[in-house]
Amino acid sequence: MVSNPATIATFAAVFATLSVAHTVGDHWVQTSVQSAKKGQHDRNPGQSSRTGRLACTRHVVGLTLTKALLLALATFVLDLPLTVAGVTVGLGLDAASHWWADRRSSLAWLAKITGRSEFYTLGTGAHPFHPVTAKGEPAGHLGTGAYALDQAFHTFFLFLAALVIAAL
């Protein structure tokens, strides 16, 4: 166990930086096309799956560059004692986990095997109690269960990445 105050402070600074960078990268840097197509899979063998994989890869590259840039800024301003190995392994772990979850079917599978399928569909027409207006039309809402689970998954891996980056 680490009891070094400098390592603990580094972890806190790295986690805060990655959290901010994640929000910026996932919501401002990601394009609408990447968001719409990153979950495409083969229905017919051919282009749709390739399109989805490429869209997801482009999103994760932009997201990881955003995290690297903000982490470099924080490192410069705060004089954080980071290593190339720690940053490479930490951001690599985060990028791989982000790509896996953002292909969508994998996160839906994880929700299913953990008994969270009903929550995953919250806010969509697939949910048994989906939001509707008094006229029975789809009602506006602030998000979906899939989005909440997606962001919680990413935050967990940001935590692990920050641990790796601070510890190596």
Please report the DSSP string for 51-96 in residue order: HHHHHHHHHHHHHHHHHHHHHHHHHHHHT----HHHHHHHHHHHHH
Q: Cβ of 97: how many Cβ atoms within 10 Å?
A: 18
Q: Which amino acid is at 109?
A: W
Closest to 19 (Cα-Cα) out of 148, 159, 149: 159
| Contact present, 104 and 39 (Cβ < 8 Å) | yes
Q: Is the pLDDT of residue 43 over 90?
A: no
Q: Is the pLDDT of residue 84 over 60?
A: yes
Calculate mean pLDDT across residues 70-97. Answer: 98
Residue for token pair 């840039």: 69
Q: Report the distance separating Cα 109 and Cα 120, nearest Å.
A: 10
Q: Report the distance separating Cα 118 and Cα 102, nearest Å.
A: 19
Q: Report the distance separating Cα 130 and Cα 35, nearest Å.
A: 23
Mean pLDDT for the chain overall: 88
Task: Output the pLDDT for position 95.
Answer: 98
Band (41; pLDDT cuts 50, 70, 90) = confident
The region of weakest confidence among 4-13, 62-71, 125-134, 154-163 is 125-134
Band (50; pLDDT cuts 50, 70, 90) = confident
pLDDT in tens, 88-145: 999 999 999 999 999 988 888 999 999 988 878 877 666 656 666 667 666 665 678 8
Predicted TM-score (pTM) of this structure: 0.85
Residue for token pair 């789809």: 138
Task: Output the pLDDT for position 126.
Answer: 62
Beta bridge partner(s), residue 132:
138
Band (40; pLDDT cuts 50, 70, 90) = confident
Q: Report the distance separating Cα 71 and Cα 21, nearest Å.
A: 8
Buried b vs exposed e over 20-36: b needs ≥16 C-beta within 10 Å?
Answer: ebbebbbeeebeeebee
Q: Is the pLDDT of residue 12 over 90?
A: yes
